[in-house]
Chains A and B, each alone.
Chain A
Amino acid sequence: MKEVSKSEEMVLLAVWRLGDKADGVSIRSQILKDAGKDYTYGTLYGLLRQMDRKGYIQKAKAEPLPKKGGRSKSYYRLTPSGIRALKEAIELHKRVWKNINALSLSES
């Protein structure tokens, strides 16, 4: 299986952290909080769609908001294969960084 990209990894991680409250706004702010990246919704939804097609996440519609003309919000959840992909990403990360002390990379 092809490994997930860095940005995909971040989105997957954010969705996982948010559990069943992962809607667009919270995913965006979660990524901002975790990684300091200010994604636009254009980028974010592009990634979400891509991973939906790959089967990592699933889109679910909640009940419509209790106001007139309220639209139903979409929430995202990890699928088992999404969790697997995330785990693999962590493994890969560990493998690649094995035996490297962060301090030894310091400049000078």
Chain B
Amino acid sequence: MSPGRADVQNPPRWPEWIIRRLAWAEDRSSILENLREEYAYLLSTKGAGPAVLWYWGHCLRSIVPFLKFLAYWRFAMFKNYLKLVLRGISKHKGYSAVNIAGLAVGLASFILISLWINYETSFDRFHENKDGLYQLVTEQLLPNGERRQFINTPGALAPTLEAERPEIRNVSRSVEWMDFLLGTQDKRSMEGVRFVDPAFLEMFSLEFIEGNSGTALSQPHSIVLTEHIANRLFADGEAVGREIMMGQNQSLLVTGVIKDFPPNSSLRSLSLVPIAALRDLGWDHDQWTSGNYHTYVHLEEKTDLESFKAQIRDVYERNAPNWERSTLTLRPVTKIHLHDLSGGGPIVYVYIFSGLSLFVLLLAMVNYTNLATARSFLRAKEIGVRKTAGAYRRQLTKQILMESILTALVSGCLAVPIAYFLVPVLNGLTGARVGFDLDGKTALFLTGVVVLTGVVSGLYPAFILSSMNPVRALKGAVKPGKNSLLLRKVLIAFQFSLSIFMVVAMLGVNKQLKYLNTKELGYSRSHVVSMGLDREISGQYRTIQTEVLRNPDILSMTRSSSSMERPNTTTGGPDVTWEGNAAGVEMPRIHLMRADPEFVETFQIEMAEGRFFSHEFPRDVAESAVINETAWKAMGLDSPVGKRLTIWDNPFRIIGVIKDFHFYSLREEIQPLILVHRFAGFQRIFFRINSQNVPEALDFIRNTIKEIVPGYVPSLRFLDDNLQEVYLSERRMGTATRYFTLLAIFVSGIGLLGLASFSARQRTKEIAVRKVLGASEGKIVLQLLRETLISVVAANIVVYPVAYLALRGWLQNYAYHTTLGIGIFALASVSALALAVLSVGWNILKASLANPVDSLRYE
């Protein structure tokens, strides 16, 4: 017989393997033997083909009966385990409570964060075309070699690209104008409007309540209202076909009503007006010169993105000489929300928050592992009896894992309502609008996490318990091994490290927050209110000024081209030249701002040299420029006052140097600034008001403006409130770290408490003997505390460098930041020590105060 024939004698491998896996141990070999026998018989009578076929068929048919059988027995065993576990839980109530509470808190924070991440990553994914939608991004090369990306593009870009590139299915520009006076003759309110190309309606998924996307924007004087505005203006019936007024004199026909965008949209929910309507407002939207448009494209399916990018890269170079050093690129619409162009964005918080919630969960798991391992020696007898009665090690492991999984499941069940009630807190904290909707996928995922939590936290105790020697266990001779004691110490130290880390992070973040809010900005923000200088009132500014300043509580009033948080016109490079620039210095990025003479008075900014604009010099409006100290330095001039300065070929003369002030957030360094009366329109009005009569002053301003411009409702805001908004993400970070730190301390605190009460009980005899031999209570407490304190100290040493580096990394996002003094580390250590002493010390003290006679009399 050839060796090849011998193989044919054996049944096919795969079905045999399946049966081997499925059959129960007791009959496995008989079944296989029987199958072999019949196979051999078929082989000899009918040949190889039918025999193999029969074997396969038989195997496939027997899968169901095998599984039924397995399920039946698994369930029987499961019921047994379940009973044991439930007994265990109810017998050791305190112990179980600690475990369940810890895990429930950990899981609740995990659930919340999962919900939040779900929400954050769902942004803009409701658009049907989401995979083909991109936002065009301009990339500018700055004179200092840096690249800056922004989403502003010139209006002529959209039609040019559409004509050039066949890959583009649709393209639309978008301009948001906030604070338009919008409405019917009798009902008007301040609303934002988005100017778009008609293709916008096809690209983005907008739900039409009235009208349809095909025709809604085909006429230039039409408007598609959002649902809430339509409901407010036309509560009595259909909106389509009605006329509404935009601004003072533009009349538009309502051609559609759309549902408001869902909260997880990065595009603000605004009413839509065809971009052609901009012409009536004096804007030519087909120019290369101004870059006030956002451009979105919808690419054909299967477009090669890389080659498309390469094709559009040099579009500025080819078409727009004034956009030199700029190239064009794009980014998916679905990335707009999470990824800022500067590299950061909410994605950072997604990482940080998920890290923190995992920390808390990890702490709860460590609690379980610690307590279960510590307790395992109390259970030695149980394990011994089970082993002697014939339990396999695998069964014991299963039982103990089942315990931890069940504990996790109970905690999970508690965690869901906890999370449910905390959703509003989460929303307040993150500014998200998360709903508590557990869909099937999320629920499955969370169940998976819960089970995994159970498995991981029960793994080590299961290993320890199931490996006990039954004889020694029954004799009561099992002592905690060196390894498990060491592990417990390491785990406690780990818990402390995490807690200390969180405390340090919390203190650091909040210290920076305080710094951001209190740093001298070079100008005074307090008691300054601002409002938008809209088209509606710009013609009336002087009248308003005269009237408002009649009230002595309004100390000063001015207007400028930008909010105090961010100037919006920038230039640099060869656009700016100046007299006396012998070295041929090229100006880096420079900010342009326009402001009235009262600017320095309203904001109480001092001059370093020369003078500010003044009404006494009417020519200031045409030819004077004021620079800030940073610009002065950058220009390399000795005495700048009187020097000539040219911006975009317009001549100016420098009349003064203003002291540096922070016109950006403290994340960025103060940059060169030039104030001139050109290039930008006035955008904001500022009032400095008397701190004694704030409400009266505000009312006076409102009423005066309402009288001068009927129907206009100014929205006044304190600059200090704006500051809160500018540092919103920092404030959130501060609050988040505070919450998570509390959670971490709570979880590790109860864990330690449980562990300490356990070890104090275990050491009652030791304490009693020490007392009998004459040790004082204090000495005993110190002795027993020492162990924990060593863990705390070790944790401190490990965690300092890590926390320091992490915080420093975070602070480096800020051009101006606080210092990480020793203070916050010291405070963190002290609180960790306090935590240790409180949780451990109490139990030890109780044990040491007990009468030794009670503990020893059973000996």
Whether B34 contacts A46 by the Cβ 8 Å rule is no
Task: Find out whether the CB atom of B63 lies under 8 angstroms from the CB atom of A42.
Answer: yes
Q: For the complex, what is the distance from the CA of A48 to the CA of B26, rounded to whole Å?
A: 12
Q: Find chain A residues with CB under 8 A from B715 CB.
A: none
Task: Give the complex CA separation of A73 and B37 in angstroms.
Answer: 11
Residues of B within 8 A of A25 (CB): 34, 37-38
Does residue B679 face the partner (Cβ distance < 8 Å to A)? no
Q: Which of B24, B30, B62 contacts A24 (CB under 8 A)?
A: B30
Q: Is the CB of B62 within 8 A of A42?
A: yes
Closest to A28 in B: B34
**Chain B positions near chain A (C-beta within 8 angstroms):** 19, 22-24, 26-27, 29-31, 33-35, 37-38, 58, 61-66, 68-69
B19 cross-chain contacts in A, Cβ below 8 A:
41-42
A41 and B35 within 8 A (CB): yes
Minimal Cβ-Cβ distance residue in A for B22: A42
* Residues of B with C-beta under 8 A to A73: 30, 33
Q: Evaluate contact between A41 and B31: CB separation under 8 angstroms.
A: yes
Q: CA–CA, A20 to B64, complex, Å? A: 30
Contact check, B30 vs A43: say whether CB atoms are below 8 A apart: no
Name, among A28, A48, A73, the residue most crowded by chain B CB atoms within 10 Å (CB to CB).
A73
B65 touches A49 (CB 8 A): no
Q: Which residues of A contact B66 (CB under 8 A)?
A: 42
Please determine whether A40 and B34 come into contact, CB atoms closer than 8 angstroms: no
Task: Tell me if B's interface is mostly helix, strand, loop or mixed.
Answer: helix
State in angstroms the CA–CA spacing of A107 and B29 once bound together. 47
Tell me which residues across on chain B come within 8 A of A24, comparing CB atoms: 30-31, 33-34
Give per-residue flags for A30-74: 1 if the beta carbon is below 8 A from chain B beta carbons, else 0: 000000000011110110110000000000000000000001011
Interface centre among A23, A42, A71, A73 (most CB of B within 10 A): A42
A43 and B58 alpha carbons, distance in the complex (Å):
11
The distance in angstroms between the C-alpha atoms of A23 and B27, with both chains bound, is: 12
Complex alpha-carbon distance, A49 and B31, angstroms: 12
Bound state CA distance, A49 and B34, in angstroms?
16
Minimal beta-carbon separation of A89 from chain B (angstroms)? 22
A100 vs B66: C-alpha distance in the bound complex, in angstroms? 39
Query: A41-B35, A73-B33 in contact; A49/B27 too (CB < 8 A)?
Result: yes
- Whole-angstrom distance between the Cβ of B646 and the nearest chain A Cβ: 93
Kindly state the separation between the CA atoms of A43 and B68 in the bound complex, as whole angstroms.
Answer: 10
**Additional pairs, 11, CB under 8 Å, beyond known A24-B33, A41-B34:** A24-B34, A25-B34, A41-B19, A41-B35, A41-B58, A42-B62, A42-B65, A42-B66, A45-B31, A49-B24, A73-B30
* Chain B proximity of A57: nearest CB distance (Å): 13
B464 to chain A, nearest CB (A): 35
Min C-beta distance of B725 to chain A, whole Å: 69
| In the bound complex, CA of A41 to CA of B69 (Å) | 12
- A42 B23 Cβ-Cβ under 8 A: yes
Instruction: Report Cα–Cα, A45/B27, bound state, in Å.
Output: 7
Contact, CB under 8 Å: B68 / A46? yes
Check A74–B30 contact: CB distance below 8 A. yes
**Knowing A24-B30, A71-B29, A71-B33 touch, does A40 contact B38 (C-beta < 8 A)?**
no
Once the chains bind, are B30 and A45 in contact (CB under 8 Å)? yes
